Structure 1
């Protein structure tokens, strides 16, 4: 892929205990506008990778680059990184601390030294983007888990980062909550924010991501989503099950179809088509290959 990555890690190494590296020579490149899903087993290093990328911890080896320039761990260097890149942790209670929603979302913009009007504008826009404007005055301790997740993300969005890193954003949400949050993530991406998120849901990764990074054995394997999620051995080595999408696509190809359903809804559309057309037509064959129903 051409162009300088927004954020890149080269040869990252890190260990919480001497002799037990979590990451050992890990590489990843995040290009503007991409959607990257990060997969891996519990304890495999996903969260550690995120903390290294946003400067919360210092690598024992390797380097992090912002726009092609090595990150300087000076006060100014880290401040610049955090203006460009924001991390939202898996547990929103690790980030929420203010008395009410507006105060919490205001914290980052205030630390940027913005004037009161600019802070209000950023907070209003972030609350609207996360569809929680009605919660503006509500105490954070009275929010549901899903609402707290949205407030934590709004706090990051109010910083207007180029890159938003979400650690297990759908964890703990019911199916409706997952869909609602992913719709919001899509809106943020369409508005120009590059998104990296971690998940254990290979099917979510298949339908959403352009690229998938699998973290395990100290390294990061990054490639096109379809290639990674069709690699059964790679997934099994990371204690992940197969995604249904690549298997369905293989079956459709064997039947002569170019259809590429990425979601259950798209697959259902193909099944519904079978009700009015012969199976060959429903699979996307050329008109001259289809007999009249």
Structure 2
């Protein structure tokens, strides 16, 4: 797993994008990294993938410092996959099958195994129907699912998702949530960067809050979102279930269905 120690990153001599970042991804199965635009979330992901190199500090993967040689980064990316916010940034081929196959062929996987992995990955994202479709015929949400399928096919141990539900309609958003839950249940570590606080609250178990390149809060998801001052300081808003808890003095629920169950029990109790 990843562990980050005192990481600093500067784009320019006097411009700090990340300052004194300390993270331990063993603290949760689905890790949330939240913050407003410019808080450093994407820069952090680029450092984790070895695309950027810290100005100072260290990133450990499986208790070893990242190796920035070609071979070292190759091995890192066999274990860690990333899905960018814009799927166009990681789709290079004109056909869905060939695009997913690219990374697998690049590491020398047998063609029969590639065929099997692609089918399984597309089934996992509910996208088997467009296995042979040209990419340009797909919707934005479908392209996003193809990008996720590419990572699933690699059988990565950790998957970084940068704004996985951005720009999606409610149906596509729910599909992405189902995919994340499926990966989690298979033992894949998920790290999500998102502006969608309802998504983070509902699906993550540990959260880091970034503001201007610094971590201003971290902890279990319920504890982080109860700290209203820190959430607003980061330029974010509370999830709607937390708002109900604070403004209507209701118990703190993690899931919508638990609220409805509580309400039904309260109504039955009142009527009796």
The answer to whether the superposition gives a TM-score over 0.5 is: yes
Q: What is the aligned counterpart of 1:31 among 26, 34, 41?
A: 26
Partner residue of 1:176 out of 171, 179, 182: 171
Report deviation, 1:242: 2.0
- For the 8 Å contact 1:210–1:225, the answer to whether it is kept is yes
Which residue number in structure 2 is paired with residue 75 of structure 1?
70
* Structure 2 equivalent of residue 230 of structure 1: 226
Identify, as 1 or 2, the structure richer in helix. 2
TM-score of the pair, normalised by structure 2: 0.94
* TM-score, normalization by structure 1: 0.87
Cα distance in structure 1, aligned partners of 2:270 and 2:79: 52
Unaligned runs of 5+ in 2: none
User: Does the CA-based 8 Å contact 2:96-2:130 persist in structure 1?
Assistant: yes
Q: Distance in 2 between matches of 1:186 and 1:94?
A: 24
Residue 190 in structure 1 maps to residue 185 in structure 2: yes
- Distance apart, 1:17 and its partner CA: 2.2
Distance of 2:35 and 2:11 partners within structure 1? 18
Kindly indicate whether the alpha-carbon contact (under 8 Å) linking 1:202 and 1:229 is maintained by their aligned counterparts in 2: no
Deviation readout 1:138-166 (Å, 9 max, x if unpaired): 00111000000000011111110010000
Q: Deviations over 1:42-65 (max 9, x none)?
A: 011000001101111111111110
**Which structure has the larger Rg over C-alpha atoms?**
1
Deviations 1:5-33 (A, max 9, x none): x1111111112222111101111111286
Aligned 8 A contact 2:82 2:160 in 1: yes
Residue 236 of structure 2 corresponds to residue 271 of structure 1: no
Which segments of 5 or more consecutive residues in structure 1 lack a partner in the other structure?
1-5, 280-292
Residues 90 and 168, structure 1, Cα contact 8 Å, conserved in 2: yes
Q: Which has the higher contact order (CA 8 A, sep 6+)?
A: 2
